Amino acid sequence: MRIDFESSISLHRDGPGDYASIFVASDGKMIMEESDHNDEEEHDDLEVGQIRIVLFDADRAREAGIDLVYAADAVNGDYLAVAEEFHKINGEELDSIFSPNILYVDHVHVDEKYRGRGLGLAAIRRAVDLFAINCRYVVIIPKPQPINGQDNPDWKPTKASEAKLRRYYRRAGFKNLKGTIFMVLDMDVPVKDVLLSRS
């Protein structure tokens, strides 16, 4: 499997109004390569899932004199939740909390047919390897998806599905952040040791 990432960042680096440049979003497509297929038939590469990660560039915010919570609120509600929760938990000034940066795993989805093969964890591991440099934490909010992958406004995750997803992310070294909806991978722990020992 490979992941094809596309990143986006604002080209406007100057001025306090440039909140979007603080959050670098990367969307990845999980691709099962032709050589990954187990049968003898010929196959083209196949997209089997997606991952979206967002780097919270606290260094850039601090240099520009931008309050990270305010900037997160202007960009996206989930970003705001991350910024506010870390501010509440630590009870300190935001600059000290978000230095160094944070990598937020916004979305992981594996098509139903390809679940149970560890593809989601492999995608997270690769994203951490590539994008978590100079990050203190990698943060994820376990959000179960409907099994059929269809958008259904009435669908709600069960406690059992949330617990199962939390167990799944623990295999990559994430830990529950007490009293919050977040799971966190502390980058002070040697990442490769954690990821390899929990496979």
- Whole-angstrom distance, CA of residue 98 vs CA of residue 140: 16
Q: What is the CATH number of the domain that holds 9?
A: 3.40.630
Q: What residues have CB less than 8 Å from 54, skipping those under 6 apart?
A: 23, 24, 25, 26, 79, 103, 104, 106
Count of the separate structural domains present in the chain = 1
Indicate if the pLDDT at residue 171 is higher than 60. Answer: yes
Least confident residue range of 37-41, 160-164, 188-192, 193-197:
193-197
Highest-pLDDT range among 3-7, 36-40, 95-99, 154-158: 3-7
Q: What residues have CB less than 8 Å from 198, skipping those under 6 apart?
A: 170, 171, 172, 173
Indicate if the pLDDT at residue 173 is higher than 50. Answer: yes
Percent of the chain with pLDDT over 70: 71
Indicate if the pLDDT at residue 48 is higher than 60. Answer: yes
pLDDT attached to residue 29 = 94
Least confident residue range of 21-25, 109-113, 167-171:
21-25
pLDDT attached to residue 9 = 65
pLDDT attached to residue 28 = 93
Residues 103-130 have pLDDT tens digits of 999 989 999 899 889 999 999 999 999 9
Q: What is the domain range of residue 99?
A: 2-197
